[in-house]
Amino acid sequence: MEEVELEEPSSSGHEDSNDHNDILEWAKANNLGSLQIICEYYQLRCPVRGSTLNFHPLEHLHPLEFHRPGETVLHIAGSTVDLRSCNTSLELAEAHSALLAEEEATALSVWTIACVCGNLRLENVLMMFAGALLEKQIVVVCSNLGILSAVVLSAIPLIRPYQWQSLLMPVLPNDMLDFLDAPVPYIVGIKHKTAEVQSKLSNVILIDANKNQVKSHSVPHLPQQKELFSSLSPYHEKLVGESYLARKRPVYECTDVQVEAAKGFLAVLRSYLDSLCSNLRSHTITNVQSNDDKTFCH
């Protein structure tokens, strides 16, 4: 199993390392900071489980530190995923996929939830939550790229243990705006709501983080929404209170109060989603008997 761990894919294509080095040197020579950051990022390797990665591409920027969890066992939705108990390559691949999805949600959980709650009213957060569960088209607008990215990425931890299966793009490039016409679910971020963008938003859930507003035509209320709102309110209020000081820091840096409040917020949502699915078995067909042309279901 340890050999498999070493073979996990990295975040870069090392077969192109020479090209990246050439581009990086050119970026340094021409003082192209953004390109230098991208090149440095593509040269990173995915850290092994339990290790820490430091990223400091430019001296005048704050260094970033990422700690990868060391867990190889996942407890989710009443079941256990354990890499050590896998007997076939298919089981191993499925276990890796489940663990990586949980890693992603965990890495995003605290700072994105702190940011989305600090910038949107609770009813607007729940609108986004419902839209993601219903696989709607969701567009987030914000002039601050950090907040924009955090709000879009918050959809991943918000709906855990479920996973968003369609396109999710924190910042949609201007030359890809035609994608907003696609008849598929998506969650995308846009920096400015231009006239061209506005003409494409007739059937989407529009979240304006600049104005703390949400516009939508057809999103039903969540089951037990009042009870859910009441349970989430104390955590949301703490995150709103901390958000004023947080504006002086990068969006990914959180206080201890934000960390605990964000974890509490997500714990309530996880319990809520578990409760919605707890009685699914009573609504499923568990026994089918056929007698000639007649079928009996129990």
Domain ranges of the chain: 2-106, 111-277
Exposure letters 219-229 (e unless 16+ CB within 10 A, then b): beebeeeeebe
* pTM of the complete model: 0.80
Report d(CA 4, CA 266) in Å as an integer. Answer: 32
288 or 81, higher pLDDT? 81
87-95: which pairs have CB atoms within 8 A and are 24 or more residues apart?
92/4
Tell me: pLDDT of 113 over 90.
yes
Percent of the chain with pLDDT over 90: 39
Average pLDDT over residues 181-209: 89
Using left for φ > 0, alpha for ψ between -120 and 50, and beta otherwise, residue 49 falls in beta
298 or 142, higher pLDDT? 142
Tell me: pLDDT of 33 over 70.
yes
Report d(CA 254, CA 232) in Å as an integer. Answer: 19
pLDDT digits (tens, 9 = 90+) for 153-175: 999 999 998 999 999 999 999 88
* pLDDT for residue 131: 95
CATH topology of domain 111-277: Rossmann fold (3.40.50)
The SS3 of residue 178 is: helix
Using left for φ > 0, alpha for ψ between -120 and 50, and beta otherwise, residue 292 falls in left
